[in-house]
Amino acid sequence: MNRTEWTKEHIAGYVQAQIKEQLQLEEDVAPDDELASYGMDSFASMSLVVAFETNFDIVFEDEELLFENFATLQHMVDSICGKLQP
């Protein structure tokens, strides 16, 4: 898929799958759940950022790499969508 074909639902599904894999979860996480409560730490968060940058062909600037920007599934989806908009 190219960046114009990604819908918010596709992005959310991809992010959900990556979170579950990274945190070794069987259940889905709710969009607004704090991922720290599932064991998300800064290392896991940065691993996800690298996966997002690679998969979506985007780059997060250093000042955007704040833990709170990636604290929930919804925050992650919003950050990616913001990067994909022309």
The verdict on residue 1 lying in a domain is no
pLDDT digits (tens, 9 = 90+) for 29-82: 999 999 999 999 989 999 999 999 999 999 999 999 988 889 999 999 999 999
- What's the structural domain count of the chain? 1
Q: Which stretch of 4-8, 12-16, 62-66 has the lowest confidence by average pLDDT?
A: 4-8
Q: 19 Cβ partners below 8 Å, 6+ apart? A: 25, 29, 35, 38, 40, 48, 73, 76
CATH number at residue 27: 1.10.1200.10
Judge whether 15 lies within some domain: yes
- Dist. CA 12–CA 84, nearest whole Å: 13
Residue 73: inside a domain: yes
